Amino acid sequence: MDAPLSFTHRFEPALRAGVPPLLLLHGTGGNEDDLLPLGRMVAPDAALLSPRGKVLEGGMLRFFRRVRAGVFDEDDVRRNADDLADFVERACEAYDIAAPIALGYSNGANVAAAVLLLRASVLAGAVLLRATLPLSQPPRPELDGKSVLILSGATDPLMSPDGAARLAAALTEAGANVTHRTLPVGHELSQADVSLARKWLDEQSGGARLRPDPG
């Protein structure tokens, strides 16, 4: 019998062939159920793979340890990004899906950024909602051909504009095709995040949506 996958997770199969799968990565205090509705809104036909972060902070689930808000335990970032990348690889085999596009929010966006920087081959691209650069000395991976959408909040008290800009620069220097937009919002998600992520994801799958846009 195959070994069980190493993260508690949800998996929803694709409703249509040829749409890139999404890897949903929740924020601090969330779980594997949190982003399923968002995933369905932005990619109605995609397979959804949604793991639960394994790190506990005061009873809240996360994807890596931090010393305090905005100060990360970078060894733990590297270990957990690696562990998550192993899970993604095995889940893609187990569910017979292509490398997914990550859709991460906050801590989930930060771990997705770390996976892109450290184990890029497991992801086809990423939508990073309220992200920062999770490593002070980022490696320079080969990201040619990967597209990344970063959506920041202008009044986000948790993510400095500088951190998102440094993340965009690190990914661009590594060859990724990065779109970075700053929205007039805070840390919370907005309708603009949903619309922009949906449009961007639609472009990634060649704009071949069959269903009409409900909104």
Residue 80 interacting with ligand MLT (CB under 6 A):
no
Our answer to whether residue 180 is catalytic in this structure is: no
Site string (22-61) toward ligand MLT, x via CB under 6 A: -----xx---------------------------------
Q: What are phi and psi of 12, to 5 degrees?
A: -120, 125
Residue 3 interacting with ligand MLT (CB under 6 A):
no
The active-site residue out of 6, 9, 187, 205 is: 187
Q: What is the dihedral of CA 180, 185, 189, 194, to 10 degrees?
A: -60
Our answer to whether residue 26 is catalytic in this structure is: no
Residue type, 160: S
Residue 136 interacting with ligand MLT (CB under 6 A):
no
Residue (12 or 83) nearer to ligand MLT, CB: 83
Residue 188, CA atoms < 13 Å, CB-side half-sphere: 3
Our answer to whether residue 195 is catalytic in this structure is: no
Report the C-alpha gap between 164 and 162 in whole angstroms.
6
Residue 69 interacting with ligand MLT (CB under 6 A):
yes
Instruction: Give the binding range for ligand MLT (CB under 6 A) out of 66-74, 94-102, 112-120, 196-204.
Output: 66-74
Q: Which of 56, 53, 32, 189 is nearest to 115 (CA)?
A: 53
Instruction: Give the binding range for ligand MLT (CB under 6 A) out of 40-48, 105-113, 121-129, 167-175.
Output: 105-113
Smallest distance, ligand MLT to C-beta of residue 28, A: 3
Report the C-alpha gap between 37 and 96 in whole angstroms.
22
The helix/strand/coil state of 143 is coil
Report the C-alpha gap between 5 and 174 in whole angstroms.
30
Active site residues: 106, 156, 187
| Residue numbers at the binding site for ligand MLT (CB under 6 A) | 27-28, 66, 69-70, 106-107, 110, 158
